[in-house]
A and B are shown apart, each in its own frame.
Chain A
Amino acid sequence: MLKTLYRLVIVLLLMAGCDTNNKPIESKKLKTNLINSYIKKAKDTNNTIEDRKENLDKAYSINATLDDDSFKIQKLREISFRYYHLKDHDRYKGLNEKALKLAKTISDSLEMAESYTYLGIYYRKSKSELDLALQNFHEADKIYKSLDPKKYEPKDYLFDHGKTLIDIARIQQKAKDYTESEATTIKAIKKFELAENNQYLPLCYTNLGIVAKYLENYDKAIEYHLKAIEYSKGTDKEILQTLTSYNNIGTVYKSQKEYNKAKEYYHKGLSYKEFLDKNPRRNARLIDNLAYVNFLSKDMTEIPDLFYKALKIRDSIDDKYGMATNTLHLAEYYHSVGKDSIAQQYAEQSRDISLDLKNNEELLKAYQLLSEVSNSDTGLQYANTYIQLNDSLIKEERLFRDKFARIKFETEEIVEKNQQISKENQILIITILGLTALFLLGYIIFKQQQSNKELLFAQTQQESNEEIYRLLLNQQVKLEEGRQMEQQRMSEELHDGVLGRLFGVRLSLDGINQRANDGFTEARNKYIDELKAIEKEIRLISHDLGAETLPSDVAYIDAVENMIKDLCGVHNLDFEFNNAEEIDWEEIDDQKKVNFFRILQESMQNIFKHAQASTIKINFDFVDDTINLTILDDGIGFKTNKVKKGIGLKNITSRVNQMNGEVQFLSNENSGTTVSVRVPIPSRVEELYEE
């Protein structure tokens, strides 16, 4: 029951939504479509201005519900642009300020720049706020300049940058900063060329032409204006541009006092009758300019009719600026023909308009004229006003330029700063790279020194090892020598002393026994024989002692055997050790002996650790001037191809290589391991067979 009620409510609500044409808008697409349609309605000139504004308000309120992104900003600008068209400048400004804020929050540089440009356009309208306009344009310029070409496609913003630049150039021109304006315009042209968009080139050249005229570069000025026409050809603004340029060229000639040529161009302009009928302002300007040139060239045929004609048109369209100029021209004319009272009237009229418009240039001219045409008292008054105004104008101009210079300086400073930062970055990068390289170099050197030290250490260790071994051997040899000497002494003592005396005793006993006849001869003979046997034994002992049973070079093999015995004792293994007598260990250099010693140690350690053997057989054989060391165990063995060489095997190999020998590790699983080392010993064969 409740559910049905709920559904009913929803349906009713929906219907109500349909009725009021106020659908809940959800999707962005729907919103966009709505905004676009409202903007379209706002464009429609058939609607009243109020209606159009209302549509824009609607578009704006929908736009406000969109998510903050570039698209929203773009639409906002589009709406603001419409307001501008409807002359709602405050709204235009407000929207663009919003757009700028939004662009800042989402850090969209391009949109920021564009918003600054639009704000600049707002400020540009009023002469007193030109500095603000310039500031905004400069902000935009700054952003465009600093845009990262990697992040943004240059084509996307080159055109907009160009527009901003030409805006700046035009303000500079208005501020009479002609050289700067020229330079900026040329920059703008470059941007447009890069953007491959000629839309604004006529404007650029027009500006160049105007600037050139003020710089009294008349030929150039004319050339620029012609170029402007050239660029406008084929576009929808061709006629407008041509008219503007002809008017400008005429003005250039007028400034050169080439009145005929000026007239010719004004006439050329005036020939576009059809177009001028629809553009009375331009028509009036051309007519007024032509009339003025005629007046200046003393061609009075249509004067002052032409002035009046122009004034009439201007008056009908309420062209205040035009009227100010026009009335001034008339005043001049009447002054020239001596009708000062009429001249004064026109001059005063011009003055009033100019005061109203704050058009100081025309106002100045009006005062100048008034000071000439009025009677002496008021003339003097006017002259004073003129001087005051002139002074204040010059002051204002100076102030203005100062402001401009400051803005420009700030911009340049920022650019410079950027350059400096990038330079600093570069220096930083180079420094970091340099430091890194230095560090690496240092590290490498350090490592190398370290490894050198290690090598040196290993070398000294080996040397000291050998030294210890040598000392050990020497000790053993000395011991042997001592023992041998002692044995020799004992042998001699036994042989020559004890044995001799024993022999003497026996011989005496024997002799006496021969003579005795007491029936104990036989018994004594038995003991005498026993003495003889003792003698023989002593002699044998003496012989054994005296014999060189332990040659001095046995020491090494002794040391080896002791080592084997000790190790096997510790690990409870049986061992067999054989040393071929042919090996003359004394002749073999210590290096080799140490190596053999260590190989044996290393191999035995391997056996103890891995082999699980019960018996080790170690043989030193000597065949064909080669020492063959075989170390054989009855352990579990290993797969020679599977086992990675451990440090032990590597050590053995390196030691064998040091001795120019060969080593083989033979093993099969469960069949023990054989390490066989073959080391050639240089023979002395040649030496042996000479006598």
Chain B
Amino acid sequence: MKKKLKVLMIDDHPMIIEGYKNTLLGENQKEYQIKIDIASNCDDAYASIVKSSESIPYDMLFVDIKLPPSSDGSITSGEDLAKHAKELLPKSKIIILTMHREDHRIHNILKNINPSGFLIKSDLTSSELLLAFNNIIKGKAYYSATVNDHFRKMMTNKFSLDEKNLKILYHLSRGVKTKNLPNYVSLSLSAIEKRKNQIKEMFSIAKADDQMLLEEARKRGFI
């Protein structure tokens, strides 16, 4: 007798859902009988979550980060959805599947959601997805190598950079000028300058220019 599982897959690409299905419903998967619900936007996803919270909650949610936002604008991403899901379905396992592999994003998601699974789509293979699924269903967390790398980096540095500092570094590395940073990071320009100086001090390169700062950040794995 196969164990019954109820799963909600949230992704705006039907092809991806198809991929998930092909993986989970394949012959390698014999232990569980999986019922899969699909949502391609925030509204549908939220409705399904609410509905399941009132009846049989989902065992697992596959959440994409980039999603068409809800019509009322209150939910703009998978991240928001995951937060709601954690409240409404506290026992549900949440797996984040995303194309984004930037450190600050990873950092942010880990911090805000602390999902059971964190998979970077570009790394993901069918077997890994299956492995992750099996682990998570048994209560073990599973993270992609990229996410684990991030953890390692965080650990090896004596200090950690908060999300905003990481964001600053990230955008700088993309070539954004300091004065344009307020458009990307919700901080005032002077605050950004101050943070930049703090980072330089942490890196013990107080008088360095931006070029050197970025080099050092790369060396240390923050970018």
Binding site for B on A (CB under 8 A): 495-497, 499-501, 503-515, 528, 532, 535-536, 539, 547-549, 551, 553, 581-582, 584, 586-587, 687-691
A585 CB, min distance to chain B CBs, angstroms: 10
Bound-complex Cα distance A511 to B25 (A): 8
Contacts of A581 in B (CB 8 A): 209-211
**Total contacting residues, chain B, CB less than 8 A:** 43
A548 engages B175 (CB within 8 Å): yes
Contacts of B157 in A (CB 8 A): none
| B90 close to chain A: CB less than 8 A | no
Contacts of B17 in A (CB 8 A): 504
Nearest residue, chain A, Cβ from B176 = A548
A551 engages B180 (CB within 8 Å): yes
Binding site for A on B (CB under 8 A): 11-28, 66, 99, 121-122, 124-127, 129-130, 174-177, 179-180, 188-191, 193-194, 209-211
A584 engages B177 (CB within 8 Å): yes
Contact with B175, one of A511, A512, A532, A547 (Cβ below 8 angstroms): A547
A681 CB, min distance to chain B CBs, angstroms: 14
A514 engages B27 (CB within 8 Å): yes
B19 engages A508 (CB within 8 Å): yes
Contact with B190, one of A495, A532, A689 (Cβ below 8 angstroms): A689
A507 engages B19 (CB within 8 Å): yes
Nearest residue, chain B, Cβ from A622 = B209
A513 engages B99 (CB within 8 Å): no
Could you list 8 A-B pairs, sorted by A, with CB under 8 Å? A496-B66, A499-B122, A503-B13, A507-B124, A514-B127, A581-B210, A584-B177, A689-B190
- Please name 13 further chain A to chain B contacts, defined as beta carbons within 8 Å, in addition to the given A496-B99, A515-B28, sorted by A numbering: A496-B66, A500-B12, A501-B13, A503-B16, A503-B19, A504-B17, A506-B19, A508-B21, A510-B22, A532-B122, A532-B125, A586-B179, A690-B190
Contacts of A497 in B (CB 8 A): 13
Contacts of A584 in B (CB 8 A): 177, 179
Bound-complex Cα distance A351 to B129 (A): 180
Closest 9 CB pairs of A and B: A507-B19, A504-B15, A510-B126, A511-B22, A504-B16, A511-B23, A500-B13, A508-B22, A515-B27
Bound-complex Cα distance A691 to B11 (A): 40
A691 engages B23 (CB within 8 Å): no
B180 engages A507 (CB within 8 Å): no
Contact with B194, one of A499, A503, A689 (Cβ below 8 angstroms): A689
A510 engages B127 (CB within 8 Å): yes
Bound-complex Cα distance A510 to B126 (A): 5
Bound-complex Cα distance A497 to B13 (A): 8
Contacts of A508 in B (CB 8 A): 15, 18-19, 21-23
Q: Which of B22, B66, B189 gathers most chain A CB within 10 Å?
A: B22
Bound-complex Cα distance A505 to B129 (A): 14
Contacts of B13 in A (CB 8 A): 497, 500-501, 503-504
Task: Assess A500 versus B175: contact at CB under 8 Å? Given A505-B19, A532-B122, A687-B190.
Answer: no
B176 engages A507 (CB within 8 Å): no
Bound-complex Cα distance A551 to B28 (A): 50
Nearest residue, chain B, Cβ from A499 = B99
Contact with A505, one of B15, B175, B191 (Cβ below 8 angstroms): B15
A507 engages B190 (CB within 8 Å): no
A587 engages B19 (CB within 8 Å): no
Bound-complex Cα distance A512 to B27 (A): 9
Bound-complex Cα distance A504 to B122 (A): 11
B19 engages A514 (CB within 8 Å): no
Bound-complex Cα distance A587 to B12 (A): 42
A501 engages B122 (CB within 8 Å): no
A510 engages B23 (CB within 8 Å): yes
A503 engages B122 (CB within 8 Å): yes
Contact with A548, one of B19, B23, B174, B188 (Cβ below 8 angstroms): B174
Contacts of B24 in A (CB 8 A): 511
Task: Assess A587 versus B211: contact at CB under 8 Å? Given A500-B13, A508-B19, A691-B194.
Answer: no
Bound-complex Cα distance A495 to B129 (A): 20
Nearest residue, chain B, Cβ from A507 = B19
Contacts of B177 in A (CB 8 A): 551, 553, 584
Task: Assess A507 versus B122: contact at CB under 8 Å? Given A512-B22, A688-B193.
Answer: no
Nearest residue, chain B, Cβ from A528 = B125
Contacts of A506 in B (CB 8 A): 19
Bound-complex Cα distance A46 to B16 (A): 168
Nearest residue, chain A, Cβ from B178 = A584
A587 engages B179 (CB within 8 Å): yes
Bound-complex Cα distance A316 to B179 (A): 143
Contact with B16, one of A500, A509, A510, A689 (Cβ below 8 angstroms): A500
Task: Assess A514 versus B28: contact at CB under 8 Å? Given A532-B122, A548-B174, A691-B194.
Answer: yes
Nearest residue, chain B, Cβ from A550 = B175
Contacts of A499 in B (CB 8 A): 99, 121-122
Contacts of A532 in B (CB 8 A): 122, 125
Task: Assess A514 versus B191: contact at CB under 8 Å? Given A504-B16, A507-B20.
Answer: no
Bound-complex Cα distance A686 to B17 (A): 54
Bound-complex Cα distance A536 to B21 (A): 23
B210 engages A582 (CB within 8 Å): yes
Contact with A495, one of B15, B99, B180 (Cβ below 8 angstroms): B99
Nearest residue, chain A, Cβ from B15 = A504
Bound-complex Cα distance A323 to B174 (A): 149
Nearest residue, chain A, Cβ from B97 = A503
Nearest residue, chain A, Cβ from B173 = A547
A510 engages B125 (CB within 8 Å): yes
Bound-complex Cα distance A482 to B193 (A): 29
B16 engages A507 (CB within 8 Å): yes
Contacts of B19 in A (CB 8 A): 503-508, 510-511
Contacts of B99 in A (CB 8 A): 495-496, 499-500, 503, 539
A513 engages B126 (CB within 8 Å): yes
Bound-complex Cα distance A515 to B127 (A): 11
